[in-house]
Structure 1
Amino acid sequence: MTLDSQETPAAIVDVRKMEKNIAAMQERMNALGVKFRPHVKTSKCVEVAQAQIAAGARGITVSTLKEAESFFAAGIVDILYAVSIVPSKLPRVMALRKRGCDLKIVVDNASAALAIVEFCKTAGESLEVWIEVDTDGHRSGLKPEEDALLEIGRILHAGAIKVGGVLTHAGSSYELNTPAALAALAEQERAGCVRAAQRLRAAGIPCESVSVGSTPTALAARSLEGVTEVRAGVYAFFDLVMHNVGVCAIDDIALSVLTTVIGHQEDKSWVIVDAGWMAMSRDRGTSKQSRDFGYGLPCTLDGTPLDGYLMIGANQEHGILAPADAGHAPDHGDLKARFPIGSRLRILPNHACATGAQFPEYHALQATGELAVWSRLHGW
């Protein structure tokens, strides 16, 4: 199959761009002297994870236990499940551990910590637990100076549970767009997580790993003193949100949606395509950024952005391409001649994770122009 013959809509991964992105991040982590543990929730794809490990990554981060089970079945052993655990999921965690998976779990509250201790006591087994730290008020975790950090550490340690480390995610980095602001947040992320580890160690609680990361802060950090590993995910594909943040060029975006022109509304300068929100997702992450890309940036089949056009609207199976400036349509001649029925385009996504999630598989574009099928994991 090629781009000309593949049924649409389809999720296309440009393998050359993906491998370039993977290599650049790994080289940066090597230069900063830290282990790199990529987050596979972006791709949920074994072939992508294998490319990351081949480049030098050590271990992976997952967001679901199904990911952990699937990637372990594919031969990846060192796995961090970076979502705060609930007691009902502990049997699945233990089953993976007993099969040889070096699975680490995460807590950010005393209730979960007590449940882990009780579960392990009953099972006569143990788990490795990391404590989540909040360094930017983005979502989950404990502030580095909170009393609860030491309370959780003591509950686990006293219950013979290994406190393997602390981790944080500076998700608010997605809201920034200058090198100085990103560098400052990267330092805040580093310092806060290191401080949490220091407090645990001072209290007599071993804490070997200090794990930080988001794609923007990983690429902006100037020093990672005290950090043992970095996590990032979307960097492998990048997307329009990351472009607006300022950490990638349009040409770095490796994921696109292949689509076919199915109609026109000439009086509105609209081009109708067969990729709606079921293909692109409803993610409008660029709407609050400096440049709004609508539902995505249309490109020619070779990946060249279409000057002056955006995907301005999306119904379930219909996408609407139109001039970005509704009052000033680009003068490209006859709309039907430029975008004939049956012609193909590619749409760059706002959020690679969300767009990828719409598809059961990727079509990996090789240097030869041929497409290979890579399965994508679904579910929890």
Structure 2
Amino acid sequence: MGTIAAEAFGAVDTPFALVDEARLNRNIERMNGVAGRHGVRFRPHVKTAKCREIARKIFGGTGPITVSTLKEAEYFLADGFDDILYAVSVSPAKLERARSIANTGAKLTVLVDSVAAARAVADFQRTPPALGVAIEIDSDGRRAGLKPDDPSVVDIAEILEGAPAVRFWGVVTHAGGSYDCIDEDGIRRMAEQERVAVVEAAEKLRARGFACPNVSVGSTPTLTFAEHLSGVTEARAGVYVFQDLVMANLGVCTLDDIALSVMATVISHRPDKGWIIVDAGGLALSKDHGTAEQARDYGYGAVCDADGRLLPGLTVGKVNQEHGLITAADEAAAATLYSILPIGARVRILPNHACMTAAAYDVYQVIAGEAARQWGRCNGW
């Protein structure tokens, strides 16, 4: 990544979130190409970066997006993104806010996965503007949604079709179980399982006379390795813009593709414990230990020097609220620990789960060629 990182951000207090724009651009270009080869509409999940500058890079402007909070919907709508899928089952208490977003001209779609939720939307939506509503399908047993053969899928469609100010949008699924796979073949099987589940639900609805115009799948691993997306109209993915250690362990990317890191400062040496302590702890890195069950465990992050060069064998082994404890994997790494990372040295820590790590920050410091700049992001709900 070059010495610009160390030089350009010397006045910025640590910890801070650092984005390598060249890596970010490559990740975006690669996934745009994957969606293009499959011939599906791409609806990126902007919950990872929550940043208008990054979202605009995906499309070279604006386009259809997926959000995880209504605050994200409001933030991106203000920047011209007006085709928005709110990919969390909507609670009745949030319908007024959803309608206020639709009142501004947005094409907003929300999710339901129960008859009760569908009725709540139908009862609320008595007058225009119409609110899009999709049915969430469970393709892997990991989270919310209905199995494709659940009779409630048809019941919900009937309720939505009969409501005066509702657009029945279609069906949506997310194969979060792909994160548990151990190899590319497993991800490919999960991608097909994801596709089959949502296409089966759409076909059952169409057989009962419902149009079901949209059939949406998505996760970064499954979209990366899917062999085909027959019957699918759109795909979603989010973490791919930054990538992270979990994705690297899955073979989705390499360590050199990870565009987000946390810059931290060495604040203490504990030779008696075999630790170096930095000022980035659980709040700065998150306590997501997503690599714990994978073949390569990076603790709470892999350690690089201030210019982004990986320091082999060093990981953040433990975190407290504001302390990160760097440990060595072997004696060779331990022997150089204190000489290469003196008090005051800066390190960059690659995250396990980029979405969770990025959520700690209001801004990104951005390495952009020979320049440095700052991008804001949206936080909260």
TM-score (norm 2): 0.95
Show CA shifts across 1:286-345 (max 9, x none). Answer: 1121111111000012211111111111111111111024xx342644x44321211111
Who is 1:117 aligned against? 122
User: 2: distance between equivalents of 1:64 and 1:265?
Assistant: 42
2:63 touches 2:81 (CA, 8 Å); kept in 1?
no
1:10 touches 1:363 (CA, 8 Å); kept in 2?
yes
Q: Secondary structure at 1:129's aligned position in 2?
A: strand
Who is 1:214 aligned against? 219
Q: Secondary structure at 1:8's aligned position in 2?
A: coil
Who is 1:228 aligned against? 233
Structure 2's unaligned 5+ residue stretches are: 1-6
Who is 1:47 aligned against? 53
User: 1: distance between equivalents of 2:159 and 2:144?
Assistant: 19
**Mapping 1:1-380, distance limit 5 Å:** 2-54=8-60, 58-121=63-126, 123=127, 125-160=129-164, 161-325=166-330, 328-330=331-333, 332-333=335-336, 335-368=337-370, 370-380=371-381
User: 2: distance between equivalents of 1:179 and 1:294?
Assistant: 23
1:5 deviates by: 3.4
- Aligned residues: percent identity? 48
User: 1: distance between equivalents of 2:269 and 2:128?
Assistant: 66
Q: Work out the number of aligned pairs and report it.
A: 374
1:6 deviates by: 2.5
Structure 1's unaligned 5+ residue stretches are: none
Q: 1:363 to 1:152 in 2, by over 3 A?
A: same
1:271 deviates by: 1.2
2:328 touches 2:334 (CA, 8 Å); kept in 1?
no
2:288 touches 2:356 (CA, 8 Å); kept in 1?
yes
Deviates more, 1:126-135 or 1:346-355: 126-135
1:3 touches 1:301 (CA, 8 Å); kept in 2?
no
2:291 touches 2:352 (CA, 8 Å); kept in 1?
yes
Q: Secondary structure at 1:243's aligned position in 2?
A: helix
1:35 touches 1:58 (CA, 8 Å); kept in 2?
no
Q: Secondary structure at 1:288's aligned position in 2?
A: coil
Letter in 1 for 2:75: S
User: 1: distance between equivalents of 2:221 and 2:59?
Assistant: 20
1:137 deviates by: 0.8
Q: Secondary structure at 2:96's aligned position in 1?
A: helix
Show CA shifts across 1:94-114 (max 9, x none). Answer: 111111111111111111111
TM-score (norm 1): 0.95
User: 1: distance between equivalents of 2:341 and 2:305?
Assistant: 10
Letter in 2 for 1:358: A
Q: Secondary structure at 1:302's aligned position in 2?
A: coil
Q: Secondary structure at 1:377's aligned position in 2?
A: coil
1:4 touches 1:344 (CA, 8 Å); kept in 2?
no
2:300 touches 2:316 (CA, 8 Å); kept in 1?
yes
Q: 1:336 to 1:138 in 2, by over 3 A?
A: closer
1:3 deviates by: 3.4
Q: Secondary structure at 1:310's aligned position in 2?
A: strand
Who is 2:4 aligned against? none
1:216 deviates by: 0.3
1:124 deviates by: 5.2
Letter in 2 for 1:363: Q
Q: Secondary structure at 2:85's aligned position in 1?
A: strand
User: 1: distance between equivalents of 2:128 and 2:308?
Assistant: 56
User: 2: distance between equivalents of 1:262 and 1:343?
Assistant: 8
User: 2: distance between equivalents of 1:30 and 1:2?
Assistant: 37
2:362 touches 2:379 (CA, 8 Å); kept in 1?
yes
Deviates more, 1:228-237 or 1:277-286: 277-286
